[in-house]
Amino acid sequence: MGLASSTNGDFRPSPASTDIRQNGGEVVDLQVQAINGNMYPVSIEASARLVELYEAVARALDVAPWMLRLTAGTSVLDVSSDGDRTLEALGIKEVTRRRSHLEQCPASQGPKPSLRASPAVVRFRDSLVQETDVIALRCTGCFLENAGISGYNGDYFCSVLQVCQAGWNAVEIKFSAWGDGSLGKLQDPSTSRLSFLDSKRELKSVRPKSVTLEVDESADDRSAHKQGVMTFEGVPTHGQVWFVYGATGYDKLALNLSDGRE
């Protein structure tokens, strides 16, 4: 499953309850079924956004919301395209089903019992039950493993070890950069870039919001090694993006974030 197609800002967080009744509007009572068969009731206003439904279900299941894929009937509820749309606009509502159940009533209210009949007569009664079933599937938070290399030359290169989702509009890249010292120190990983096409199909690039180094071995005249995690925010989490290590000279590495979520 992916995230919102808009990358101009993160989704706003929803209230910290699986029962969302903010404005006294129409409430949809959902029965969410996990893949193990467990059922979780979630009440949410029809005016809530799809992303808020994901967050409410995630709290009920105690998982990160971007690690879920919700389906209703044969439809996938896709945050990447519809995250900011309301449940009402998406047609997510209670479905009226007619259900039969057994009801016992005194024999005097039913047909005259035979000699073998029970003193109480069992009859079927129809009732209307309001419910919507949503299936919650777990999906991996990791898009890609050993995704490739952004290289300067054969002696200076950065291997992308792992690409993971870190939020609705955030991606973490685990990297390992090497240099043999022939061209001096490795470039600063905080000057790296992640590029993508925005909603206007214009190329946009962002620098890491943060870089956490696990290995930092640098020298002017010998091999250097930097390994750690870069976190990029305000970026898409589906489709194709391009990663470039350092400030200049390194090749672009194409990453299809959708591949790892199928």
Residue 121 in this model has a pLDDT that exceeds 60: no
- Domains in the chain (CATH in brackets) are 19-95+130-138 (3.10.20.90), 100-126 (no CATH), 142-261 (2.60.40)
Distance in angstroms (rounded) separating the CA atoms of residues 159 and 151? 8
Residue 255 in this model has a pLDDT that exceeds 80: yes
97 vs 54 pLDDT, higher one: 54
Query: Could you report the per-residue pLDDT of 50-60, keeping only the tens digit for each?
Result: 999 999 999 99
Residue 114 in this model has a pLDDT that exceeds 60: no
Q: Strand, helix or coil at 56?
A: helix
Of the ranges 57-66, 67-76, 118-127, 147-156, which is most confident? 147-156
Are 191 and 175 in contact, with CB atoms under 8 Å apart? no
Q: Residue 143: which pLDDT band, with cuts at 50, 70 and 90?
A: confident
Residue 75 in this model has a pLDDT that exceeds 50: yes
Are 225 and 161 in contact, with CB atoms under 8 Å apart? no
The mean pLDDT of 100-127, rounded to a whole number, is 37
Residue 18 in this model has a pLDDT that exceeds 80: no
pLDDT for the residue numbered 24: 53
Q: Which two tokens stand for residue 46?
A: 């029809």
Distance in angstroms (rounded) separating the CA atoms of residues 243 and 163? 11
Pairing of strands 120-138, 27-34: parallel
Q: Residue 16: which pLDDT band, with cuts at 50, 70 and 90?
A: very low
Residue 138 in this model has a pLDDT that exceeds 60: yes
Distance in angstroms (rounded) separating the CA atoms of residues 129 and 249? 64
The mean pLDDT of 219-241, rounded to a whole number, is 89
As a whole number, the mean pLDDT across the chain is: 78
Q: Residue 19: which pLDDT band, with cuts at 50, 70 and 90?
A: very low
pLDDT for the residue numbered 200: 87
For the chain, strand residue ranges (E) read 19-20, 27-34, 39-45, 68-72, 75-77, 95-106, 120-138, 142-151, 156-167, 170-179, 193-197, 203-206, 210-217, 224-233, 240-244, 253-256
pLDDT for the residue numbered 80: 79
Query: Could you report the per-residue pLDDT of 22-31, keeping only the tens digit for each?
Result: 445 688 888 8
The mean pLDDT of 17-21, rounded to a whole number, is 43
Q: pTM of the prediction? A: 0.69
What residue spans of the chain are helical by DSSP H? 50-61, 79-82
pLDDT for the residue numbered 26: 84
